[in-house]
Amino acid sequence: MRTDFVEKISLSQFFLMIVIFQLGTAIVIGLGQSAKQDAWISVGIATIYGVLLIFAYCFMLSLLPGKGFYELLKIAYGSLLSRILSYFYVLYFLYIAARVTRDFCELLTTAIYPKTPIEIISLSLALMCCYFLYQGIEVIGRSTEILFPYSAAFLILLVIFLFINRSFHSENLRPVLEFGWGPVFQAVFPSMLGFPFGEIVALTTVMVAVTRQDYLTKVGISAVAAAGTILMIFTMINVSVLGVDMIDRVEFPLLSTIRDISIAKFIERLDALVVFVMMLGIWLKVCVFLFAALKGMESITLIPYRNFVFPIGLLVSSISVFIAANFAEHIEEGLVAVPLYLHIPFQIGIPLVTTVILLIKVRRRKGEKKHEGLDNVVQSEN
Amino acid sequence: MGYTRVIKLLLLCCVFTFMTTGCWDRKELNEISLISGIAIDKGENKKYKLSAETVNITELSPKTKGGETPSVVYTQEGDTISELVQKMNTGLSRKLILSHMSVVVISEEIAKSSLMEFLDYMDRYREVRNDFNLVVAKGVKAEEILTVLYPFQKISTLKLKVQLNTLQDEWGGDPDVRLKDFIQALVSKGRSPVAVALTVSGTKHIQNSTDIMKHPIPPSLITVPGMAVFDKEKLVGYLPLEGVRVYLWTQNKLRHTSLSVPCSKDKYINVFVYNSSTNVKARGKNDVPHIQLNIKVETILDGTQCGADLSKHSSYVDYERKAADFIRAEVLATIKKVQKDFGTDIFGFGDHMHLQDPAYFHKVSDRWQEAFKKANIEVKVDARIRRSGLDTKSFLQQLPPR
Amino acid sequence: MITISVLVISVSMIFMITMIDICLYGRSVWDTLVYIFDIDFGTKEYYVIFGYLVSFVFTVRTDLSRRKEQRSEQSS
């Protein structure tokens, strides 16, 4: 296998990766539905949390610049414990990748291909992502940069068409805060912490590949804020077009919003635009989660990750078929099991403990270096 | 070395064969048949009776028509609509596509017995769009509505679609109810749904025949008698055409209409409304809902049977006042009739109350229909007549007095 | 080495989803496994399993060729 790939992604590619990563599934599946017409406020609060989270991750990476997430684990916990933690992280990332694939398969079979077996869609997506990963993270960054304008154009077109179609009913957004701040905060904790803003933990493995590390924090924060704002706007759009009752009922709110468009009897049934936007987001999410898992395996087995790409990719595709027997089980797992037992320890718990340990170690090392530095100076003077 | 090359080539061939077979879900055009309208009756042996009207496309084009019927209607009985749609091929030939339906006709019996659960299938199924009209068949079986043909549009349901659209635009006779509106009205605590009613009228009831299209006075014709009023899922009565207009006024959806306003005994002026806007204010006071409607209309005087001098401003003011009073009386009468006879809030005043006075609405939301019955309704109309056509003075003034 | 790690991860993943199903629905381990895999149900799960096995075969091949390289490096 070739080992001479240069793996660098530029700052703009990193920015777009974060934005599309966040938008990915969240924009079609919808967030904060339990807050009814105040869902957009919940998304706003979650955005603030996301900004804080990425600031924390960048801070953790900046303690020892140039080292990726798994190397930090190794330095913080030592060889054996970090291998066990990396193993669990690999399992976590693969599980999330399988869930995301399953989301996409459900969308396609519900809206467009009812007779096609989901295994076929799952296989096609997995094969595509495997090929991209085989070529390296740089190819993924470049592809995101190329495909993003189309996604953005479709989203803007959607908004314009909805406006022409007079689909916006601002009275659906009122009365604001009808039931007070309670439901708004209940919608944020704990489900919105993990999805979509908490999944940035997977991007920490990618961050080390960015060219200009000094701008990492600024770019990261602005990307998360941008993604959060777009999500907030689209949540508002969904509620104002569909109304509160319908948002509760439908599986894919943005899809139902798009089906409302009927201009001059000619521009109708624009489901394909939404599927494209979601396809780009899902592809990037699966690639990043797989990359994070593969990097984890690389740090455990010390074998370049490209060797694992195809079996692990197809493993994810198989697991995505097995995780749930029907859509209701998939949703239930996502609401009950995943946020509490998976997202919180892996996204907040372990990184927090790691940061604290690293802070202590770095301070100690700085103290030692100061002494060493003085010795060197004294010696060179002599 | 040769081995691996051969294996790689074989694999590539397999993959390409796999990829070029086309879509699992494809439906070729000559395999499908478009349903232009469905009618749902109460079944004799089972729960529902579905009639589907499919389009015979060669009949529609002037080049290829050959005197056949432009549409085929087939009826089946079953317990769910979704099963029936799949089962239609016991009589019809091709796969049926529901995406291009224009009309769904519901029989009175179904609506009165609250059998509207089939709406769940329409809401859930991905092929069904939101752009068809929901209608209720009054006094006839729903199936008969599909079988009355019409010379211009040939297919009965297409004619209905154009007819309802035009009626709504020109006179305000169709409440323009789509599936999403109907379901939203069903689910919301503050309103009940409506649907336009259709019936078959004519001197001789020959349906089911293309001979209908050969007479200048159609022996059977589908006409609009008014609007069906629902109390949640159950049909409770009908409103005449004027009621439909009032309904559109309360929804701020009235586009154009034509009013015959009395100007003196047995003489009327005709005003054409070209611009109308309604504002609804809802408040709860002393546990009684207070609803205030502010209607503003801009009109043109289309014809007058009284001989007033229309070059004077005072005549305009006089007629404007008469038109405003007329509209006010009509709106108030219809709303009060709905309050008294049906007791169900079809106008959505509950939704307005929810927006404007949520505290009061939360108190009464579970029994909004009772609160609506004793609501205090106030209507204010501001009518403006802007111009009066080509003539200022009517030639009637110049006639010798009788 | 690659094969072993892939196998370990595969088994761990299956174990993980079994555990999640058991926690959510409280069935016994054997019932959950049968429910997850339900291969005799006639669905198209053969495709993904087949894909995984094919990639697995190639992984074994890669592993063996790496071992061969390493051994030849060591001996030279």
Partner residue facing A114 (CB), from B25, B129, B183: B25
3-class secondary structure for A278-309? HHHHHHHHHHHHHHHHHHHHHHHHCCCHHHHH
pTM: 0.84
Q: Backbone phi, then psi, for B225, in 5-degree steps?
A: -85, -20
Find chain C residues with C-beta within 8 A of A313's C-beta: 55
Mutation target to probe the A interface, by most A beta carbons within 10 A, among B15, B98, B126 is B126
Positive/negative CA dihedral, A128, A132, A133, A137: negative
Helix (H/G/I), strand (E/B), else coil: C28 = coil
Measured between CA atoms, the residue of chain C closest to residue A336 is: C24
Q: Chain A closest CA to C64's CA: distance in Å? A: 12
Beta strands A267-268 and A262-263: pairing type? antiparallel
Find chain C residues with C-beta within 8 A of A318's C-beta: 48-49, 51-52
**Chain A residue set in contact with C, beta carbons under 8 Å:** 1, 87, 90-91, 94-95, 98, 117, 119-120, 122-123, 126-127, 297, 300-301, 303, 307-308, 310-315, 317-319, 321-323, 325, 329, 332-333, 336-337
pLDDT at C28 over 70: yes
Find chain B residues with C-beta within 8 A of A113's C-beta: 23-25
pLDDT at C75 over 90: no
Which position has the token pair 């000094």? A214
In this prediction, residues B43-47 reach a mean pLDDT of: 85
Q: What pLDDT score was predicted for residue C41?
A: 55
Domain limits of chain A?
11-381
Partner residue facing A245 (CB), from B25, B130, B187: B187
- Residues of chain A falling short of pLDDT 50: 1-4, 380-382
Q: Backbone phi, then psi, for A157, in 5-degree steps?
A: -60, -40
| pLDDT above 90 as % of chain B | 16
Find chain A residues with C-beta within 8 A of B161's C-beta: none
What CA dihedral angle connects B282, B284, B285 and B287, to 10 degrees?
140
pLDDT at B388 over 60: yes
Band of pLDDT at residue B90, cut at 50, 70 and 90: confident
What is the rounded CA–CA span in Å between residue B181 and residue A260? 12
Cα separations (Å) of A282 from A21, A104, A150, A278, A288?
Answer: 8, 7, 15, 6, 10
What is the rounded CA–CA span in Å between residue B148 and residue B56? 15
Neighbours of A216 (CB within 10 A): 21
pLDDT at B128 over 60: yes
Q: Where in chain B is the domain with CATH 3.30.300.210?
A: 256-402
Q: Chain C closest CA to A39's CA: distance in Å? A: 27
What is the rounded CA–CA span in Å between residue B379 and residue A175? 25
Do the Cβ atoms of A315 and C6 come within 8 Å? yes
**Chain B residue set in contact with A, beta carbons under 8 Å:** 23-25, 99, 123, 126, 129-131, 180, 183-184, 187-188, 351, 354-355, 358
Task: List the one residue out of A212, A223, A222, A256 whose CA is nearest residue A30.
Answer: A256
Contact B135, B195 (CB under 8 A): yes
- ipTM value: 0.87
In this prediction, residues B356-367 reach a mean pLDDT of: 86
Find chain A residues with C-beta within 8 A of C7's C-beta: none
CATH code reported for the domain at A11-381: 1.20.1740.10
Specify the CATH superfamily of domain B256-402.
Nutrient germinant receptor protein C, domain 3 (3.30.300.210)
pLDDT at B17 over 70: yes
Q: What pLDDT score was predicted for residue A2?
A: 45
Q: What pLDDT score was predicted for residue A89?
A: 92
Cα B275 from chain centroid? Answer: 21
Do the Cβ atoms of B24 and A115 come within 8 Å? yes
